Structure 1
């Protein structure tokens, strides 16, 4: 066979083409060119739009099983939570029904005793329903904004409660909205009464605690306070009506290096989650004014003895 007819090309296995370094340099230069061109001239923007338009249905279809699992899981979780909430609501309704029957009987007895002792009638408190719109913008305070203001006869200093207890006090009133300072704010203080012992004290806001709390300050280290004690408004400040739930004693710390105990209380009201509240009228306008001091009569002035002069004074 003539040698000129032989195929001298190497088999495909031995074909190498350009070297790997040359391919890397070409691909790097092309990538750099595309990045600069895209950043400068947006040449790949239409391609992105087209690719995004084509891939969107595929992404939506691929996400449907995950979304379905989430919906099923969320349904069963919400169902369980709704059942637990219904059970708690039923228990609370039964307890409130029992208490309401007792309250009616106690109110009747109280009215009869007050008439018997010729005491003035108990103060009545008017209320205005309101809804919490949003939290105040100041992150260093604990305040919320409600949808009632001067147009609804809201007054500064009015107590604000929810279905569980006191949550705060109106501190600023605008024509259509009002600012409520929560009981957990550091500037808020409320006179309270320990329902177990009858001792009066003042609860101060403690926003540094987890979730916000109240603290009974200036209580002696040997004070009769225990975890679980219920604190209600004492009514001595002329703002809060007496008997409103305020907090429950959560922790009592008695230290040997301090004459006062540190008493941490948990608010009864939904301070962080209240949506619908009641704004009460301050009770101070209903309290009779203090009688003026009586002037001494002439006989009393004449019968008074002159005070002796201090030692060393000229006679």
Structure 2
């Protein structure tokens, strides 16, 4: 067989196209072109949308087992939570039932004891809901203005309380609004009772604390039984505040016996005036019937009476 007739081309297995580097450069350029074209001209957006529509049934079909597993787990978890909440509610209901029964027994016993001792029964305090309008612009005082006044039956020197405790008392009346002096004001004073020891004292405002306004107990001896964390409530001896309302908590006690003989006791108010929006206006303890609108001329007399009661309470504490 002549050599010239032989096929000198390599078999298909040994045929080689473009080099690997050429392919890398080509496809890299193509990918870059497609990314730029898609980002600038949205060329691939119709293709992507078509593929999404075609693949949606497949995705939904493949997601059914996962959804069934998750739904079953959520159902079982929710069932367990519901059973646990039901058990907790039954336990709380039983506890509240016991407390209610105990409260009813104590109330009946209290009425019997008051009847035996000939004491006047405790009178309920009238309350009036009010909303805080704004804080007074005076930079040297801490006062709030509420949307209840003389026409709503608010009395001068009426206590004002929030959800957490006493906020202050009404010091100025207008026909539709009232001005409330807060307990943290420098001119505020309130007789208090230490819930732990039963000791009476007077708390004064006008103290600066790092997180806002505070109060302090004055005229307390250096060896007085007062500890940090003690809860102070209204004593009810001033004839203005009902007894048992939360006032403040003892923050720090500095027993400076060597200097003045009195301890410096700082208090954290129970109610935060900066966070309160709605308040309750209480009728003073000495007034159990609805009070008529107070005239502007009687305001100074009531303010003097309130300050005199605070001064007498301070003297009693000393």
The normalised TM-score by structure 2 is 0.58
Q: In angstroms, what is the RMSD of aligned CA positions?
A: 2.3
- Displacement of 1:270 in angstroms is 2.2
Report the counterpart of residue 203 of structure 1 in structure 2.
Answer: 203
Report the counterpart of residue 77 of structure 2 in structure 1.
Answer: none
Report the counterpart of residue 182 of structure 1 in structure 2.
Answer: 182
Structure of higher RCO (CA pairs closer than 8 Å, 6+ residues apart): 2
Report the counterpart of residue 109 of structure 2 in structure 1.
Answer: 109
Aligned to 2:283, which of 258, 276, 281? 281
Unaligned stretches of 5+ in structure 1?
A: 1-89, 288-315
- Displacement of 1:138 in angstroms is 0.4
Output the CA distance in 2 between the equivalents of 1:259 and 1:195: 24
Q: Select the structure that is richer in helix.
A: 2
Report the counterpart of residue 165 of structure 2 in structure 1.
Answer: 165
Mapping 1:213-292, distance limit 5 Å? 213-255=214-256, 256-286=258-288
Output the CA distance in 2 between the equivalents of 1:203 and 1:231: 9
Secondary structure of 1:218's counterpart equals coil
1:4-54 deviation line (CA, Å, top 9, x unaligned): xxxxxxxxxxxxxxxxxxxxxxxxxxxxxxxxxxxxxxxxxxxxxxxxxxx
Output the CA distance in 1 between the equivalents of 2:98 and 2:281: 23
Output the CA distance in 1 between the equivalents of 2:287 and 2:131: 25
Output the CA distance in 1 between the equivalents of 2:261 and 2:154: 42
Output the CA distance in 1 between the equivalents of 2:131 and 2:98: 27
Mapping 1:1-315, distance limit 5 Å? 101=100, 103-210=103-210, 211-255=212-256, 256-286=258-288
**Structure 2 vs 1, CA of residues 162 and 262 (structure 1 numbering), >3 Å: closer, same or farther?**
same
Secondary structure of 2:220's counterpart equals strand
- Displacement of 1:258 in angstroms is 2.1
- Displacement of 1:283 in angstroms is 1.1
**Structure 2 vs 1, CA of residues 142 and 98 (structure 1 numbering), >3 Å: closer, same or farther?**
farther
- Displacement of 1:252 in angstroms is 0.3
Output the CA distance in 2 between the equivalents of 1:193 and 1:170: 22
Output the CA distance in 2 between the equivalents of 1:285 and 1:116: 25
Corresponding residue pairs, total: 194
Output the CA distance in 2 between the equivalents of 1:202 and 1:147: 29
**Structure 2 vs 1, CA of residues 235 and 99 (structure 1 numbering), >3 Å: closer, same or farther?**
farther
Output the CA distance in 2 between the equivalents of 1:278 and 1:99: 30
Unaligned stretches of 5+ in structure 2?
A: 1-87, 290-318
Output the CA distance in 2 between the equivalents of 1:169 and 1:279: 8
Asked if the contact 2:247–2:269 (Cα under 8 Å) also holds between the matched residues in 1, the reply is yes
Output the CA distance in 2 between the equivalents of 1:251 and 1:108: 40
Output the CA distance in 1 between the equivalents of 2:136 and 2:97: 38
- Displacement of 1:98 in angstroms is 8.8
**Structure 2 vs 1, CA of residues 225 and 103 (structure 1 numbering), >3 Å: closer, same or farther?**
farther
Bigger Cα displacement from structure 2, 104-113 vs 250-259: 104-113
Secondary structure of 1:212's counterpart equals strand
Asked if the contact 2:125–2:288 (Cα under 8 Å) also holds between the matched residues in 1, the reply is no
**Structure 2 vs 1, CA of residues 97 and 193 (structure 1 numbering), >3 Å: closer, same or farther?**
farther
Output the CA distance in 2 between the equivalents of 1:132 and 1:194: 29
The normalised TM-score by structure 1 is 0.58
